[in-house]
Amino acid sequence: MDIFESLPLEGIYDVRILCGGDVNDAYKVYARGGEYFCLVQKNARKNFYQAEVMGLKLFEKNNIKAPRVISCGLVGRDAYLLLDFLEEGFVGDFRDLGRLIADLHRIESPNGQFGFDYAYHGSRIIFSNTYKDTWKEVFLEERMDKLSALLLETSLWDESRYKTYEKVRKIIEEALDKHTSRPSLLHGDLWSGNFMFLKDGQPAIFDPSPFYGDREFDLGISMVFSGFDKSFYQAYNKYYPLDEGFALRLEFYKLYFLMVHLHKFGSSYKTSVDRAMDKIISFKG
């Protein structure tokens, strides 16, 4: 069955393929009621998009600008997610984006725990997101330890690199034990490809991998690739000041993101991961 014939839209008159992303097929759908964005994951399980849907609905509930969920479901063996289409405007103020992310991070887990109702599913990896009492359990034990084991199993790391990770792990554990984390609602994949400025200049975020975690996680990830203006960080810190010692902890989340890319895309990220681990070991503040 054609997935577009099953969408809850009337008068579809055009469907165009969109570029970008390595996990889903993406389309712009033109219908009588307006323009829509449709993601399709082929040969997917029924609840493939449930974490993203829940995150986007939480964004909407708390006035965090993001695409609105229209519908999601399964047609045959293919899952789809239908969203309203946000028109990019290209010009905006990064200070507004900093405030938007600060507002997002002020939303906290209703049960006071770290995790999420649904697991994280990347293209080649799954993190359970099972609720835990501490951030260390979610980040270090579920994500970092699992990633390091996978890198070793796939020969992207040798024993020497794994021993370096063990040194880094000790530093991360000691730092997180000293830091008081709060379970903030995170975007979970906050790089420059997942935000835009709309035609009215206001910022919006999209394509989340949401869970409740330490807010510094999002900020660290945002620093790995270019795309965030300095004023973004200044505005964020003005609206929601970071705690002492954040500079070192941000390096943990940069390393995590690079390890994900090493696992996902291969050895081209080895040098970047090595440098990130060396920086943590030799960190001077």
- As given in the structure block, the two tokens for residue 36 are 């829509």
Letter string b/e over residues 100-123, b meaning 16 or more CB atoms within 10 A of that residue's CB? bbbbbbebebeeebbbbebebbee
- Classify 70 as helix, strand or coil: strand
H/E element, 30: strand 25-31
CA distance linking residue 94 with residue 90, whole number of Å? 12
Does the annotation mark 189 as catalytic?
yes
From the list 183, 193, 188, 195, the residue with the least C-alpha distance to 127 is 188
Which member of 14, 22, 189, 218 is catalytic? 189
Q: What's the burial of 183, exposed, middle or buried (CB within 10 Å: 0-12/13-18/19+)?
A: buried
Best CA proximity match to 115, nearest among 211, 180, 188, 187: 211
In the block, tokens 């792990």 appear at 169
What the block records as the tokens of 50 is 């449930």
Could you give the residue numbers annotated as active site?
189
